[in-house]
């Protein structure tokens, strides 16, 4: 795989005939759900079409942040911060998690006031979130100040999902790689199994955690899940002595890596490749596009034809689109990354000597309100969906897995799941965009 080098997870050789729950997708959400379900004593099989963590969950920036989250995600994220802090001990493996602080800089008085007002969302959580003056931010010219949370942190995306998957296996979960889930089977309207490319697995519940593929999988099961892909390009540098805390600014975003280098990208320049689905969901995504239009580059190219050719419905006894693309590995946008490095070297001169070690890109799976779906599918008993994390699912992943497990087992949920329900897109609710993607 040309993307970042992920700690390899060897999949199980045998496929179980029958479990309690099948999880589709071996990203941070699928593996966290599998770990929680296995800890609850359920028999779990996780099916991943490629390798564990090979898509978004290894390609992301590695930020574990509560700062500037959509208020609907704050309670869940505060649980995630606690879970990350204990993840090394729980999994017996290194996830690279450290608390290092994250800073969002404010280029204008207006953005300073908005960031300051955001602090109300975390009052009472015992965090040190505060505004810091411009002079404390570093070398950024004209910056008015920054929103800073010392308890925010970072983890290593190439290690975290594999560590959690192995921990789920330690507790009895079956981890199946190179094993696409083709679709669900129902009996009297309720889930009774999953057909995979390696055979059928009987189960009473399925959790779809398919990241950027979830819309396609759900569609074949007759469930409309509005979701589009947004491309973000990333690079990493060779080791370099520089800032320890993580910084978001106009024109660049960086964090220190465990290997001594930096992961660097732009949060203000994302690409949307126009595909047939863009038109289908244009109305649903209009508020998000209005909110984010400055940061989105709309592009039409080969992806349009490629997506048009993908079948939207299929039978379960023949290869599916999931078997045709094991790992989504889009090309990074070099022009964006070159611009990012110039901006960064201007404001933090230490980066002028940075040597780029690798570039890659990832498709962010976005929902119309940039808030995930963590929800049962009301009209298909036993079908659950955890997806659409809209560019912030790595940090919140462990808690999202716990919440999903609560919904499957019927335990008291970790947080009120109402804001994450799938039906908000169809029940006439007003779709509110707060943070964008
Ligand atoms: C460039 C970039 C930067 C980001 N930065 C951050 C960040 O700093 N902090 C943060 O919190 N979030 C960040 N994110 C978002 C975060 O990475 C995602 O929200 C998160 O990883 C989503 O996890 P997931 O498990 O839902 O999806 P994924 O990691 O994409 O995993 C889904 C998996 O499902 C598999 N799959 C799909 N369909 C099937 C099928 N039918 N059968 C079997 N397997 C299937 C896929 O192969 C894939 O491995 C970023 C994302 C990107 C792309």
Using a pLDDT cut of 90, give the percent of the chain over it. Answer: 89
Rounded to the nearest angstrom, the distance between the alpha carbon of 130 and the centre of ligand 1 is 30
Measured from the CA of 387, which atom of ligand 1 is nearest?
A: 26
Measured from the CA of 365, which atom of ligand 1 is nearest?
A: 19
Q: Is 51 in the pocket of ligand 1 (CB under 6 A)?
A: no
Q: Can you give the pLDDT at residue 436?
A: 63
Q: Is 55 in the pocket of ligand 1 (CB under 6 A)?
A: yes
pLDDT at 348 over 70: yes
- Residues 235-248: pLDDT tens digits? 999 999 999 999 99
Q: Is 30 in the pocket of ligand 1 (CB under 6 A)?
A: yes
The arithmetic mean of pLDDT across residues 96-107, rounded, is: 96
Q: Can you give the pLDDT at residue 36?
A: 98
Rounded to the nearest angstrom, the distance between the alpha carbon of 107 and the centre of ligand 1 is 30
- Residues 109-149: pLDDT tens digits? 999 999 999 999 999 999 999 999 887 777 777 899 999 99
Rounded to the nearest angstrom, the distance between the alpha carbon of 116 and the centre of ligand 1 is 30
Q: Can you give the pLDDT at residue 295?
A: 84
Measured from the CA of 327, which atom of ligand 1 is nearest?
A: 47
Using a pLDDT cut of 70, give the percent of the chain over it. Answer: 99
Rounded to the nearest angstrom, the distance between the alpha carbon of 58 and the centre of ligand 1 is 8
- Residues 407-427: pLDDT tens digits? 999 999 999 999 999 999 999
* Ligand 1 atom 51 nearest Cα: 60
| CA pair distance 30, 246, nearest whole angstrom | 27
The arithmetic mean of pLDDT across residues 242-261, rounded, is: 96
- Residues 9-32: pLDDT tens digits? 999 999 999 999 999 999 999 999
The arithmetic mean of pLDDT across residues 201-227, rounded, is: 98
Rounded to the nearest angstrom, the distance between the alpha carbon of 38 and the centre of ligand 1 is 21
pLDDT at 64 over 70: yes
The confidence band for 3, taking pLDDT boundaries of 50, 70 and 90, is confident
Determine which of 96-110, 189-203, 209-223, 275-289 has the lowest per-residue pLDDT on average: 275-289
Rounded to the nearest angstrom, the distance between the alpha carbon of 27 and the centre of ligand 1 is 5
Q: Is 248 in the pocket of ligand 1 (CB under 6 A)?
A: no
Q: Can you give the pLDDT at residue 222?
A: 96
Q: Can you give the pLDDT at residue 1?
A: 47
Q: Average pLDDT of the chain? A: 95
Q: Can you give the pLDDT at residue 181?
A: 98
pTM over 0.85: yes
pLDDT at 40 over 90: yes
Q: Is 229 in the pocket of ligand 1 (CB under 6 A)?
A: no
Q: Is 4 in the pocket of ligand 1 (CB under 6 A)?
A: no
């Amino acid at each position: 795989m040309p993307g970042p080098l992920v700690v390899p997870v060897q999949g199980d050789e045998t496929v179980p005939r029958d479990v309690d729950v099948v999880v589709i997708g071996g990203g941070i959400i699928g593996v966290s759900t599998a770990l929680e379900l296995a800890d609850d004593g359920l028999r779990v099989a996780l099916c991943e079409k490629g390798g564990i963590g090979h898509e978004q969950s290894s390609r992301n920036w590695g930020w574990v942040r509560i700062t500037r989250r959509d208020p609907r995600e704050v309670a869940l994220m505060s649980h995630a911060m606690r879970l990350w802090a204990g993840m090394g001990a729980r999994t017996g493996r290194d996830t690279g998690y450290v608390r290092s602080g994250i800073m969002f800089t404010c280029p204008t008085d207006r953005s300073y006031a908005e960031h300051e007002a955001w602090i109300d969302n975390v009052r009472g959580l015992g965090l040190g979130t505060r505004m810091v003056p411009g002079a404390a931010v570093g070398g950024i010219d004209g910056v008015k100040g920054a929103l800073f949370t010392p308890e925010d942190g970072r983890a290593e995306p190439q290690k975290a999902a594999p560590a959690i998957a192995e921990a789920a296996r330690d507790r009895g979960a079956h981890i199946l790689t190179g094993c696409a889930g083709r679709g669900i089977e129902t009996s009297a309207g309720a889930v009774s199994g999953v057909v995979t490319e390696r055979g059928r697995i009987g189960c009473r519940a399925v959790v779809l955690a398919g990241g950027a593929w979830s819309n396609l999988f759900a569609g074949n099961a007759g469930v409309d899940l509005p979701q589009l892909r947004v491309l973000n390009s990333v690079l990493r540098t060779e080791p370099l002595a520089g800032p320890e805390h993580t910084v978001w600014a106009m024109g660049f975003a960086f964090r220190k890596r465990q290997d001594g280098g930096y992961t660097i990208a732009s949060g203000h320049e994302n690409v949307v490749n126009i595909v047939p689905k863009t038109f289908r969901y244009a109305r649903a995504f209009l508020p998000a596009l209005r909110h984010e239009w400055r940061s989105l580059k709309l592009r039409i190219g080969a992806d349009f034809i490629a997506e048009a050719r993908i079948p939207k419905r299929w039978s379960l006894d023949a290869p599916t689109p999931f078997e045709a693309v094991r790992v989504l590995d889009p090309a990074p946008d070099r022009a964006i990354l070159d611009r990012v490095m110039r901006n960064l070297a201007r404001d933090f001169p230490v980066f002028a000597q940075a040597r780029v070690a690798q570039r890659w890109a990832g498709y962010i799976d976005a929902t119309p309100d940039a808030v995930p779906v963590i929800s049962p599918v009301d009209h298909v008993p036993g079908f659950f969906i955890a997806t659409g994390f809209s560019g912030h699912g790595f940090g919140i992943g462990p808690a999202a897995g716990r919440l999903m497990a609560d919904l499957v087992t019927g335990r008291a949920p970790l947080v009120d799941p109402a804001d994450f329900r799938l039906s908000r897109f169809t029940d006439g609710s007003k779709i509110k965009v707060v943070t964008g993607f």
